[in-house]
Amino acid sequence: MASIIKSELDWPAPSNIHAFVTSRQGGYSTKNFSSLNLAFHVDDKLDLVARNRALLQASVSRDLTFQWLRQIHSASVFQVDSSGPEKKGDGLLCKKAGIVCCILTADCLPVFFTNKHGTEIAIAHVGWRGMSKGIIQNVVNTMESNPREVITWLGPAIGPCHFEVGEEVKFIFSQSHWPDMLRHEMQRCFSCAGDPKKYFLDLYQATKVILNSMGISEVYGGDECTYCQEEKYFSFRRDGDTGRMVSAIFIEP
């Protein structure tokens, strides 16, 4: 019988804040999507994805409802007061108890946010496109909490060992409308790859640089690689046609 496998975050969040990341293990999907694929938008069988989502629902309290995103590598952030149909964007913010805010990833970076009082949560889907457009800044600016009171966690993403990008990505970051110092620090998150026109981008370090620039100093996690950890995580860069993990956060009812 399938049994969902998910990891709770190891961060100093208030006791009423719960957050977790699923692995690729413990579901019903087969082949490239084996086995806990939670995304409907990939080429997995829809009935198997539905069964996997039912496992996810059964793994939490019946009082909880899920809010999903249709992720588009944007800077769009939504504040939700109740769960409903999926929203088109890449960030969710919530102050209501009982709503599980979810994003789907298979290399992009899930960034979790809460404040030290446990009254506000957020989550962001961060790839290089969303990062360059300001998704992280938009989440922080949408929160009412003072950045000094915000705690963050960087979930599983592709590491700098495998996240190769073209020189056009480095150029896009260099031409951003960010302050000069931030642009300079972001350029240091790129390292040369074998091809002179290719670079490795450290998503984890780049996210820390942005968060620190906004006054957030408590940043945890950020030490995994979805590409390397094949038994544990899906990776689009590694496998192409593959499944998605869920990163989720909620305020306890």
For 159-211, the pLDDT digits (tens) are 999 999 999 999 999 999 999 999 999 999 999 998 989 999 999 999 999 99
Instruction: Judge whether 111 lies within some domain.
Output: yes
Whole-number percent of the chain with pLDDT over 70: 100
| Residue 170: predicted pLDDT | 97
| Residue 2: predicted pLDDT | 77
Q: What is the CATH number of the domain that holds 93?
A: 3.60.140.10
Instruction: Judge whether 181 lies within some domain.
Output: no
Domain range for 60 is: 6-158+215-251
Residues 108-112, mean pLDDT to the nearest whole number = 99
Q: Are 106 and 242 in contact (CB under 8 A)?
A: yes
Residues 239-244, mean pLDDT to the nearest whole number = 98
Instruction: Judge whether 129 lies within some domain.
Output: yes
Instruction: Judge whether 179 lies within some domain.
Output: no
For 70-109, the pLDDT digits (tens) are 999 999 999 999 999 999 999 999 999 999 999 999 999 9
Q: Where are the beta strands (DSSP E) in the chain?
A: 6-8, 17-22, 65-67, 69-70, 77-80, 87-88, 91-94, 99-105, 109-115, 121-126, 150-154, 164-166, 190-192, 198-201, 218-221, 245-251
